[in-house]
Amino acid sequence: TGFWQATAKNQLFENFTLGVITFNACWMWVDTDYNGEDALVNAHPVFQVAENFFCAFFSFEWLVRYMAFAKLSSGLQDPWFVFDSCLVALMVGETWVMSVVILIQGGGSGLGGQASLLRLLRLLRLSRLARMLRALPELLIMLKGIFAATRSVGLTLTLLLIDMYIFSIILRQVSEGTSSGLKYFSSIQHSMYTLLIHGTFLDNLTVVWSDIGRDSFIVAGLFMVFIVGGSLCVMNMLIGILCEVVNAVAAVENEELVLSFVSDKVTEIMVQQEGQKGVDGEFSITQAEFLDLLANKDCVLALKEVGVDPEGLIDFADFIFQDTTQEDPRSSVKMSLSLPNFLEIILQLRGSNTATVKDVVDLRAFVTKIITRSLRKFKKLAHQVEKAKRSVVSPTRSRKDDTSASSRIQDKLKEMISELQNLSKARSEPSLSNGSVKVKVLWEAAKHLSSLGDGISADLQSLRPALAPE
């Protein structure tokens, strides 16, 4: 499958295929206007050559894509491939099979009205233009937005229909006996037609308005009220609904495109580096492999293109691959991540992302977990230091010096425990409702605890002989 996959993934081959699809759609125009024959064998040689070229090329393109699958049965799981297979089968049947059948029957069409029906089936080739949606994702986003807004558009048009029905009854009764009423509002159906064409679509509005105004200012005023409510309000509201839905769909689709782009690029680089996939055909990424990826120029460019800072990721490497099941958050044990989980974490670190309530809650949960662990360890350490203080005996140091070091450690531990307890109370303080203020408080407390921890480590070095087992 190497040659076939390389050909199917070749950008030049893909662009040429899209060009042939576009040319085939344009050729349908020429064929419809200038080819009057029902059977291809009776058509002008130019049309025969063109049809055979299109049939041969699309058959070759189908064969390339079919042979590119690692498992030939996987083609049935690809909707685009199944769709193209049906189109190629119809084209082969129309261009080659039917031509052979007609030649066997004596060279005439021999199909009667069925030949015209067969020509109509050629219109299915225009559906190949749907392939261009893959090359122009913006068009696909707009179509998905339209489908997503179907219900909202339907409700808006229902509101417009109700508005037209109410005003048609009012105008039908008010304009009774006038020439404009007979001309524009002679019945409910006629009134709704007038309101739709002239009041909503604003077709020839000046003439209609002048005719109604000459007969009755009341009817003209009611007609203007409908225009303001129907054409200006409801129709513009419909435009706003479509814009909102398309924006929402575009955000989701762009996120999926970004994820797909980064996933394909990372997978391609890892295939080049590793040469094989992990368990069940999926990659698992370790911290060492992650750092190797950041050394790859193509990977760095891909991350920058989606708004991720590769240099900043190096600082977050320990955090990304930290094994949360370990008791010590500074443990050297690192876990591997599956490719989807890895990409999800990476895309969360984009600089364009805004902080959400979930981010603040996750931060609070993480800090609370660290505080709980620290309190438990500090209390245990304080108990050990107190025990060592009572039993410290060192031939090279005076008891007074050991007691002084132990007292300093104990004082710092008490200060750390007090700081942690105050920090726990500050998490629920109403005055810290702003997320950025909470983060600042937590950061200052973390720096203070870090400095205290460094002091304890220095004092413990002086008590190493006393803390050693006898």
Report phi then psi at 364, rounded to 5.
Answer: -65, -40
**Is the distance from CB of 62 to CB of 85 less than 8 angstroms?**
yes
CA pair distance 276, 281, nearest whole angstrom = 8
Q: With b meaning 16 or more CB within 10 Å and e meaning fewer, what string describes 337-350?
A: bebeebbeebbebe
Report phi then psi at 434, rounded to 5.
Answer: -75, 130
Interval 43-64: pLDDT, tens: 889 999 998 999 999 999 999 9
pLDDT tens digits for the chain (470 residues)? 578 888 888 889 888 988 888 888 888 889 888 887 777 788 889 999 998 999 999 999 999 988 888 777 777 888 878 888 888 888 888 888 888 887 887 655 455 555 566 666 666 667 767 767 766 777 778 888 888 888 888 898 999 999 999 999 999 999 988 898 999 999 999 999 999 999 988 888 889 989 999 988 999 999 999 999 887 888 888 888 888 888 888 888 877 777 777 777 777 777 776 654 443 445 678 878 888 888 888 788 878 877 788 777 777 777 777 665 555 544 544 567 777 787 778 877 777 777 778 878 877 887 787 788 777 777 777 777 776 666 654 444 444 555 565 666 666 666 666 666 565 555 444 444 444 455 555 556 666 666 666 666 666 566 555 544 44
CA gyration radius for the chain?
38
Residue with tokens 């109604």: 212
Q: Provide the pLDDT for residue 398.
A: 47
CA pair distance 410, 412, nearest whole angstrom = 5
- DSSP class of residue 337 equals E
Q: Provide the pLDDT for residue 94.
A: 80
Q: Residue 285 belongs to what H/E stretch?
A: strand 284-285
Q: Provide the pLDDT for residue 402.
A: 52
Q: Provide the pLDDT for residue 174.
A: 92
DSSP string, 130-155: GGHHHH-HHHHHHHHHHHHTHHHHHH
Q: Provide the pLDDT for residue 434.
A: 47
CA pair distance 422, 437, nearest whole angstrom = 16
Interval 394-403: pLDDT, tens: 444 444 555 5
CA pair distance 319, 313, nearest whole angstrom = 10
CA pair distance 299, 307, nearest whole angstrom = 13
Q: Provide the pLDDT for residue 350.
A: 77
**Is the distance from CB of 378 to CB of 413 less than 8 angstroms?**
yes
Helix (H, G, I), strand (E, B), or coil: what is residue 322?
strand
Q: Torsion angle, CA of 162/166/168/174, rounded to 10 degrees?
A: -170
Q: Provide the pLDDT for residue 143.
A: 82
Report phi then psi at 201, rounded to 5.
Answer: -85, -5
pTM: 0.55
